[in-house]
């Protein structure tokens, strides 16, 4: 084992890191805390660790002070928990002087070793290291890690590329300090259209249909199998598959477990309502979808009203579309949701007693609230009246003086009775989200 570990460490130090597109997410890297990087499969968690390694090296930290172990490396199979301590032992035997410096350890797919948690806790206590972990298994996802690492972990979520990251990936400058001219605006609008249909998974950027859809469907299949069926021991697979298809095919719509339960029943598919609720939670845990409650102060109102469901990425929704029609409005709303979700905002949808609806009410961690309506276009006077009226009602009830309408490509400032509604093209709105 020691010779093998030496080899693995030497390989890592020798091999250059891959050329990558910079993610805008930052790792907190707090002393005495383990950074855990979580998110759906294939979103780029491992490559995000590579970015951290690059950053270390740019700060002048020699690569030998970094250690990356991928526990998916078949040479390490099957590693037992009592062998884990050999990793720091081998590393410090190779680099004894590094004991005096801070070293940076990156462990990928560590959940492959049963009982790894006490090892990383001890490691953090005994050595002068900064530790980051990631893994695709849902076992590494937030709730469990928080409990098994007993408050020692701080989690960072990785989502598919944001619009800004996609532009960076394509080598397109997106600095809005200088107002973009007509050509640049047209380019952004064009890329936005692409982004809506393809989504942000790094690997499918530039991949044409139908391969793109095929790859994304395979991502979902792996999540279903590994993070839902195997992890939770689901045996009633038919309704689970129906549920996933239904949710991904109808993003940005209200989802009622009761109604869906009745639909299944009418097709002769038996499943309990509680089981459906559980499945929904599993899909959220695996970062495939997310749900949004109604904006209400009363817990009861939040509970009895159906939640809206969004795919974690618009590309996934497109890959599961039943018909050829592209509902750009829904995709746009889903895309705005993903951008808000990435910012860890508290998100709800607004519906007044009279039925006026606003897509998003958000609250940031420092209490800043926003109202956002998503509408492909306000050029139709009926739509315009409806959307703006809903915003005015929501602004009154939520006691806010500003609101935003995200459209495909329209810009306008509407001032009414001391209130301001800003209409903004989606590409611009996305590029101003941090």
Ligand X SMILES: Nc1ncnc2c1ncn2[C@@H]1O[C@H](COP(=O)(O)OP(=O)(O)OP(=O)(O)O)[C@@H](O)[C@H]1O
List contacts with ligand X (CB under 6 A).
Answer: 20-21, 23, 41-47, 136, 202-203
Query: CA–CA separation, 423 vs 308, rounded Å?
Result: 23
CB of 252 to ligand X, least distance (A): 25
Q: Which residues contact 260 (CB under 8 A, 6 or more apart)?
A: 243, 246, 276
How big is the CA angle at 334 (ends 330 and 337), to the nearest 5 degrees?
A: 140
CB of 172 to ligand X, least distance (A): 15
Inter-residue contact 378 to 409 (CB < 8 Å): no
Nearer to ligand X, 141 or 372 (CB): 141
CB of 93 to ligand X, least distance (A): 29
Nearer to ligand X, 26 or 353 (CB): 26
Residues in the chain: 434
CB of 182 to ligand X, least distance (A): 30
Q: Is 408 in a helix, a strand, or coil?
A: coil
Written as six digits, the tokens of 11 are 């390989």
CA distances from 248 to 107, 131, 319, 337 (A): 32, 36, 8, 14
Phi, psi for 193 (deg, rounded to 5): -60, -45
CB of 46 to ligand X, least distance (A): 3
CB of 104 to ligand X, least distance (A): 18
Nearer to ligand X, 47 or 255 (CB): 47
Nearer to ligand X, 332 or 339 (CB): 339
Q: Which residues contact 237 (CB under 8 A, 6 or more apart)?
A: 229
Written as six digits, the tokens of 422 are 């800003």
Nearer to ligand X, 20 or 94 (CB): 20
Which residue shows structure tokens 């495909």? 408
Give the closest residue to 116 by CA, choosing from 88, 149, 143.
Answer: 149
Query: CA–CA separation, 223 vs 367, rounded Å?
Result: 34
Termini Cα distance of the chain: 45
CB of 21 to ligand X, least distance (A): 4
Nearer to ligand X, 64 or 285 (CB): 285
Give the closest residue to 309 by CA, choosing from 288, 278, 339, 340.
Answer: 288
Nearer to ligand X, 162 or 375 (CB): 162
Written as six digits, the tokens of 324 are 């050829």
Q: Which residues contact 308 (CB under 8 A, 6 or more apart)?
A: 252, 253, 254, 255, 291, 292, 349
Nearer to ligand X, 90 or 112 (CB): 112
CB of 29 to ligand X, least distance (A): 18
Nearer to ligand X, 27 or 254 (CB): 27
Nearer to ligand X, 289 or 424 (CB): 289
CB of 298 to ligand X, least distance (A): 39
Nearer to ligand X, 21 or 249 (CB): 21
Give the closest residue to 315 by CA, choosing from 400, 393, 381, 220.
Answer: 220
Inter-residue contact 351 to 373 (CB < 8 Å): no
Inter-residue contact 288 to 316 (CB < 8 Å): yes
Query: CA–CA separation, 226 vs 138, rounded Å?
Result: 8
CB of 203 to ligand X, least distance (A): 4
CB of 169 to ligand X, least distance (A): 6
Give the closest residue to 53 by CA, choosing from 44, 66, 70, 64.
Answer: 66
CA distances from 194 to 141, 167, 199, 204, 277 (A): 30, 11, 8, 12, 34
């Amino acid at each position: 084992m020691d010779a093998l570990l030496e080899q693995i460490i030497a390989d890592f130090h020798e091999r250059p890191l891959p050329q990558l597109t910079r993610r805008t997410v930052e790792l907190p890297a707090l002393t005495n805390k383990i950074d855990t990087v979580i998110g759906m499969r294939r979103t780029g968690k491992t490559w995000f660790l590579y970015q951290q390694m690059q950053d270390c090296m740019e700060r002048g930290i020699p690569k030998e002070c970094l250690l990356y172990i991928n526990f998916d490396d078949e040479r390490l199979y099957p590693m037992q928990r009592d062998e884990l301590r050999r990793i720091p032992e081998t590393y410090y035997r190779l680099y004894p002087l590094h004991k005096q410096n801070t070293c940076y350890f990156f462990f990928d797919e560590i959940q492959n070793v049963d009982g790894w948690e006490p090892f990383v806790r001890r490691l953090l206590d005994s050595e002068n290291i900064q530790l980051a972990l990631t893994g695709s298994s849902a076992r590494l996802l937030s709730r469990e890690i928080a409990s098994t690492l007993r408050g020692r972990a701080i989690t960072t979520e990785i989502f598919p590329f944001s619009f800004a990251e996609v532009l960076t990936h394509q080598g397109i400058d997106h600095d809005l300090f200088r107002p973009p001219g007509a050509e640049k605006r047209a380019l952004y609008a064009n890329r936005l259209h692409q982004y809506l249909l393809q989504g942000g998974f790094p690997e499918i950027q530039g991949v044409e249909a139908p391969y793109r859809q095929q790859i994304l469907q395979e991502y979902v299949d792996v999540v279903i199998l590994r993070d839902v069926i195997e992890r939770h021991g689901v045996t009633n697979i038919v309704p689970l598959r129906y549920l996933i298809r239904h949710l991904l095919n109808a993003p940005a719509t209200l989802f009622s477990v009761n109604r869906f339960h009745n639909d299944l029943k009418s097709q002769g598919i038996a499943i309990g309502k509680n089981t459906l609720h559980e499945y929904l939670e599993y899909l959220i845990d695996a970062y495939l979808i997310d749900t949004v409650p109604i904006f209400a102060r009363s817990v009861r109102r939040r509970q009895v009203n159906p939640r809206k469901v969004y795919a974690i990425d618009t590309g996934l929704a497109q890959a599961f579309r039943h018909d050829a029609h592209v509902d750009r409005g829904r995709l746009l709303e889903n895309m705005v949701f993903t951008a808000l979700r990435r910012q860890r905002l508290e998100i709800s949808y607004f519906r007044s007693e009279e039925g006026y609806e606003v897509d998003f009410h958000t609250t940031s961690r420092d209490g800043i609230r926003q109202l956002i309506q998503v509408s492909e276009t306000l050029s139709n006077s009926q739509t315009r009246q409806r959307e703006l009226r809903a915003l005015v009602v929501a602004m009154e009830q939520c006691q806010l003086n500003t609101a935003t309408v995200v459209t495909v490509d329209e810009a306008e400032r509407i001032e009414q009775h001391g209130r301001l509604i800003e209409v903004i093209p989606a590409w611009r709105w996305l590029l101003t989200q941090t």
